[in-house]
Structure 1
Amino acid sequence: MSKFDEEYFNDSSIVLEEKDLKNFWHESMKNITLGFMFTVMTFNFLWLQYILPTIGAAFLYIGFRSIRKENKSLNMAWIFSIINMIFHILNLIYINTPLSINYKNTSIMAFISTIFQVSFLIIFRKGFKNIFYRADILTKKDPILGLIIWRIIVVICGITELGEIWIISIPIIIYYFYIFRSIYKLSYKLETINYMYSEKSIRFNKKKLLCGYMIICIFIVAVCCVFSNHIKLDSIKVIPVKEFSIRNMLIDKGVPLKIVKDILDDDITILKDIINVETFSEELNFNSTSENNLNVTSIFIELKDNEMYAIEYFNFGGKGPYWQDGFAISNTWSLELINGRLLYEKEDINYTAPIPRLNGEIVTSNDMFVYTRQDNKITGVMNYPYNSKEQRGYVFYKIDIPEGTITGSNIVNYIHYNHPFRIPYTEIEKKNLMFSDNLRQHVTNFRTKSSMEFMSD
């Protein structure tokens, strides 16, 4: 205990002297002000939208714990600060797991969060009004009421999208800093009000609580990332192939044998009446070494009656992803997904599994200029069991080319991560990662047989 504690400790409580009383109220108001400042508004850059609310929740608990015995309202505010810490942990679990994708209802969550925060502020205001009333102190301004009104205005601006207008958003941000400065200045009016400080409060270590709460939150986020970013595959043993004639035709037209033998019979039998095949291979390197190379091959198969099919084949060798990677296929023309499989070897047995989250649909994303765009894409994710070998797979799809088509472009985005720590949890196959080091592209241009004959004439 400090010299102050030893000098003024008396039974179970002490009466603070004037100098220490000022420090007590200033410290309590500083914690409460910073707590609300970090939680009622988020800054969506450099992970501050997660770091600051975590710190803010701890500050609110520390601040209200110090003054919880002053009156019933402040004791209730302290209980609200505990609930706020629990809510924050639950929110971290929500945003770092597939729950944020499967149960995405931002309007309901925003409504609940606003009701809780406004209720918290109303109780806080009532508690301090009781303090000033008992001490017979008059206050000309009511900054806590101003904060309540500000919070409601922010919600309205978010719902109506008025907040995107700079002439409205800038005054709101300026008032944000002004109102919290005003709340902290309430501590000057509290300097003369005495407070009975308990022995437990003296021994309470604020730094340990803040660090402990931060460590717990970081641990929870890490666990969520680890368990959310590996998908258990629904694997079965590979069934020996029975169809050989079409496979032999593909081999004769230049498709590698190792690719042909991995295609399922149900897929290969669709490729009847082949008139043209084009194959494009490329090695994609995700770092400076050769350990994370991905060999990709795009095969375009033209059939009679103006039908075009494609097989996107990828082979990681023995260094495939354990944490889920993503891919997205787009084309000049519309795409129709048929099938997609992952293949790997474990304990000398070949297994196959459906590609997780494989979809052929309209994908909405934001481009580099933050404009919303919609594209017809085939998306999916890839990961493999631990200690598996020969990790590979393919996507089989149809390209709906119009009559008289000469050529077309095919773009495949591969997104790779070496770790599971992606905050918040996202379906990475649908993310726009332009200019990201985690992205590699395989771009090919295919031609129809008629265009080749025209060019040869």
Structure 2
Amino acid sequence: METYHVVPNAPESRSDPTPSWQTTMTQILWGLALSTLTLEIPLLQELLSFLGLLLLYLGFRAVRRENKWLFRCYVFTAVRCIALVPIFALNATIFQNQFYTSDLGYLTNLASMFLVLATLFSLWRGLLQLRKASGVEASTRAAGGLVVWYVGLALLSVVGMIGLFGFFVLIVLYVFCLYRIFRFSQAVTAAGYPLPRLRAWLSEGRLALCFTGCILVGVAGGFLFFHSYSMDWMLLSAPPSSQEQEIKEKLRDLGFPDTVLNDLSMEDLQDCQGAQQVVVDEYTRSFEEHTTSDGKVPQLHLTGIGVQLSEEPER
């Protein structure tokens, strides 16, 4: 007679320890680094934010069943990923400066900062529970240090007191906290504590493709439909007359700038007929009080022109 032995099933909340906590936490830490790093380089900042949030989402997706705090990290990151699609679409339009300088843009920035802070706090509490569940002795204070670091960064940004030395100190502290969290994940992996078992409907690759596709569709739509102002062009009924051309040539020879000359009507040109001297005064005015969220100062270029006629002292 053949005998069969029933092997008890593994606990449903656990799976094979590969990938390990070290691998998943490395993904999360890279996501934190890339999504926090700010570089004033066109397109690079957006690319880093996109990659950082994608890594964060995939990392927290793998550990969301471990405890309620890591699940909250997953939810907060998912909200940030969803919000990134309309933000990228808005950045491809002509309305981005108008939005970011409005009250709604200010509230959006506050909400984004709150989500980051809530994610860091939940990560700290989640790692504390993971430490108890795994039985490791490694400290999780570095995760709490990230919360303090981000609050300090936000306060210094509001006050505007971050110099070069302060920026260097902040970077060193941030890297140190990330390294200590990485060491904690190594200890959890060495203890043999496995990742939660998940039933994934979509693989990481397909999720990344879907997220990328949504971003590209939003950016393409914003660029194609809202990247320029509508213009009501009107064709001239007749070509410029010889008199108009003659006056323009005379003014141009006297130093009248073409940027203004081409905008003059026929009546304006006739008023300048017989010009003897042209004086040009150009200057640029900056509006620091209307500085945009990305640090750009709006500027207005002004051109003042004086025309002296033969029969009048000056016009």
| Same fold per superposition (TM over 0.5) | yes
CA distance, structure 2, for counterparts of residue 72 and residue 166 of structure 1: 39
Greater displacement, 66-75 / 42-51: 42-51
Q: What residue number does 1:172 align with?
A: 170
**1:207: how far off?**
2.7
The structure with the largest helix share of the pair is 2
Q: Report the secondary structure of 2:232's partner residue.
A: coil
> CA contact under 8 A between 1:58 and 1:209: conserved in structure 2?
no
Letter matched to residue 104 of structure 1: Y
Deviation readout 1:401-428 (Å, 9 max, x if unpaired): 3xxx8xxxxxxxxxxxxxxxxxxxxxxx
> CA contact under 8 A between 1:40 and 1:117: conserved in structure 2?
no
Q: What residue number does 2:144 align with?
A: 145
Equivalent of 1:377 in 283, 289, 302: 302
Unaligned runs of 5+ in 2: 1-6, 251-261, 311-315
Q: Report the secondary structure of 2:168's partner residue.
A: helix
Letter matched to residue 244 of structure 2: L
CA distance, structure 1, for counterparts of residue 297 and residue 73 of structure 2: 42
Q: Report the secondary structure of 1:197's partner residue.
A: coil
What pairs up with 1:359-398 in 2 under 5 angstroms? 362=285, 376-377=301-302
Q: Report the secondary structure of 1:225's partner residue.
A: helix
Q: 1:254 to 1:168 in 2, by over 3 A?
A: closer
- TM (normalized to structure 2)? 0.73
The structure with the largest strand share of the pair is 1
- TM (normalized to structure 1)? 0.53
Q: 1:65 to 1:375 in 2, by over 3 A?
A: closer
Q: 1:46 to 1:70 in 2, by over 3 A?
A: same
Question: Given the alignment of the two structures, is residue 332 of structure 1 paired with residue 257 of structure 2, yes or no?
Answer: no
The RMSD of aligned alpha carbons is: 3.9
Give the number of equivalent residue pairs: 283
Letter matched to residue 208 of structure 2: L
Question: Given the alignment of the two structures, is residue 130 of structure 1 paired with residue 129 of structure 2, yes or no?
Answer: yes
Q: What residue number does 1:223 align with?
A: 221
CA distance, structure 2, for counterparts of residue 333 and residue 230 of structure 1: 27
Q: What residue number does 2:161 align with?
A: 162
> CA contact under 8 A between 1:42 and 1:48: conserved in structure 2?
no
**1:400: how far off?**
3.8
Letter matched to residue 139 of structure 2: K
CA distance, structure 1, for counterparts of residue 207 and residue 194 of structure 2: 26
Q: Report the secondary structure of 1:172's partner residue.
A: helix
> CA contact under 8 A between 1:55 and 1:214: conserved in structure 2?
no
Question: Given the alignment of the two structures, is residue 51 of structure 1 paired with residue 47 of structure 2, yes or no?
Answer: yes
**1:248: how far off?**
5.5
Q: What residue number does 1:338 align with?
A: none
**1:375: how far off?**
5.2
**1:49: how far off?**
0.8
**1:118: how far off?**
0.3
> CA contact under 8 A between 2:70 and 2:126: conserved in structure 1?
yes
Equivalent of 2:70 in 63, 70, 74: 74
> CA contact under 8 A between 2:86 and 2:218: conserved in structure 1?
no
What pairs up with 1:32-431 in 2 under 5 angstroms? 32-45=28-41, 47-105=43-101, 107-163=106-162, 165-191=163-189, 192=191, 193-198=193-198, 200-201=199-200, 204-236=202-234, 238=236, 249-253=243-247, 255=249, 267-276=265-274, 302=275, 332-333=281-282, 362=285, 376-377=301-302, 399-401=304-306
CA distance, structure 2, for counterparts of residue 16 and residue 373 of structure 1: 56
> CA contact under 8 A between 2:272 and 2:309: conserved in structure 1?
no
**1:83: how far off?**
0.4
Q: 1:46 to 1:271 in 2, by over 3 A?
A: closer
> CA contact under 8 A between 2:12 and 2:197: conserved in structure 1?
yes
CA distance, structure 2, for counterparts of residue 362 and residue 77 of structure 1: 46
Deviation readout 1:329-387 (Å, 9 max, x if unpaired): xx5257xxxxxxxxxxxxxxxxxxxxxxxxxx945599xxx997955337xxxxxxxxx
**1:147: how far off?**
1.0
CA distance, structure 2, for counterparts of residue 253 and residue 128 of structure 1: 78
> CA contact under 8 A between 2:124 and 2:143: conserved in structure 1?
yes
Letter matched to residue 187 of structure 1: S
CA distance, structure 2, for counterparts of residue 254 and residue 371 of structure 1: 37
Deviation readout 1:420-443 (Å, 9 max, x if unpaired): xxxxxxxxxxxxxxxxxxxxxxxx
Greater displacement, 78-87 / 232-241: 232-241
**1:146: how far off?**
0.9
Instruction: Report sequence identity in percent.
Output: 15
What pairs up with 1:21-36 in 2 under 5 angstroms? 23-36=19-32
CA distance, structure 1, for counterparts of residue 46 and residue 272 of structure 2: 55
Tell which has more relative contact order, 1 or 2 (C-alpha 8 A, sep 6+). 2
Q: 1:41 to 1:373 in 2, by over 3 A?
A: closer
> CA contact under 8 A between 1:94 and 1:100: conserved in structure 2?
yes
Q: 1:58 to 1:248 in 2, by over 3 A?
A: closer
Deviation readout 1:95-131 (Å, 9 max, x if unpaired): 2212312223365443222111101111222222222
**1:226: how far off?**
2.2
CA distance, structure 2, for counterparts of residue 225 and residue 11 of structure 1: 52
**1:225: how far off?**
1.9
Letter matched to residue 207 of structure 1: G
> CA contact under 8 A between 1:69 and 1:75: conserved in structure 2?
yes
Q: 1:216 to 1:251 in 2, by over 3 A?
A: closer
> CA contact under 8 A between 1:40 and 1:151: conserved in structure 2?
no
Q: 1:12 to 1:97 in 2, by over 3 A?
A: farther
Q: 1:85 to 1:371 in 2, by over 3 A?
A: closer
